[in-house]
Amino acid sequence: MTLKLYAHPFSSYCQKVLIALYENGTPFEWRTLSPDNPQVLEEFAALWPIRRFPLLVDEGRTVTESTIIIEYLGLHYPGPVTLIPDDRRAALEVREMDRFFDLYVSTPQQKIVFDSLRPEAERDARGVADARHMLDTAYSWLDRTMARRTWAAGEHFSLADCAAAPALFYADWTHRIGAAFEHVIAYRQRLLARPSFARAVDEARPYRPLFPLGAPQRD
């Protein structure tokens, strides 16, 4: 086993990488980031002072950023599911959608959650309102886009769907996807039915009480 993943099962960006690993049955060693494992936390901080997870370590080589980790896995540990197409034009579409989910769904979603963890006096009401507006705008654009697609970048499951699954999962908990966005809701359901993501969701179930806004009684 050469791959070590520093991660937490409830983290959205970790789930993004877990989906890629599970899609291809890639073996790896869990290095679970938890206060119960101070040694793992120490190793992680030494390896990556920025302390954003997940982090992949392959025979001493550290790979940061969920998208780059998935690119790395495709390059060095390819499996039956090609998450970034060989065709460069198709790959561009995949990468564009991957950026969309990270920047315009996950980022505003995290802004709202992190703001809720601040003391009342340090909250950023304007920033949260902007984040909610961004999510509505993103849902609206995505609804038109997904009306014509099965997966984020077309008919093949890809890196963009690895990004989309946890992003839409938690975004819906944080800022509900309105009933009018039927194609986004249907796409989120397709993602939940995908075995790789279903497994990641199941592994994270015990941690739902940690969700700062209160996890709903549903997926």
| Residues binding ligand GSH (CB under 6 A) | 11-13, 52-53, 65-67
Residue 22 region by backbone torsions, left for phi larger than 0, else alpha for psi between -120 and 50, else beta: alpha
DSSP string, 60-94: TEEEESHHHHHHHHHHHS--SS-SS-SSHHHHHHH
Using the minimum distance from each CB to ligand GSH, give the nearer residue, 106 or 196. 106
Please name the residues in contact with 159: beta carbons below 8 A apart, sequence gap of 6 or more.
20, 67, 70, 71, 83, 84, 94, 95, 98
15 burial type by CB count under 10 A (0-12 exposed, 13-18 middle, 19+ buried): buried
Our CB check for ligand GSH shows the closer of 12 and 174 to be 12
Query: Nearest distance from residue 148's CB to ligand GSH, in Å?
Result: 27
Minimum distance from residue 67 beta carbon to ligand GSH (Å): 6
Q: How far is the CB of 191 from ligand GSH (least distance, A)?
A: 17
Alpha-carbon span 57 to 61, nearest angstrom:
5
* Cβ 186 to ligand GSH shortest distance, Å: 25
Q: How far is the CB of 78 from ligand GSH (least distance, A)?
A: 21
In the complex with ligand GSH, the residue whose CB is nearer, 52 or 76, is 52
The distance of closest approach from Cβ of residue 182 to ligand GSH in the complex, given in angstroms and rounded to an integer, is: 28
Measure the CA angle with vertex 209, ends 36 and 31; round to 5°. Answer: 35
CA-CA distance, 93 to 152, in Å (whole number)? 9
- Nearest to ligand GSH of 40, 186 (CB atom): 40
CA–CA separation, 213 and 205 (whole Å): 16
Select 36 or 86, whichever has its Cβ closest to ligand GSH: 36
Pick the closer one to ligand GSH by CB: 11 or 174.
Answer: 11
Q: Which residue in the block uniquely carries the two structure tokens 């009480």?
A: 209
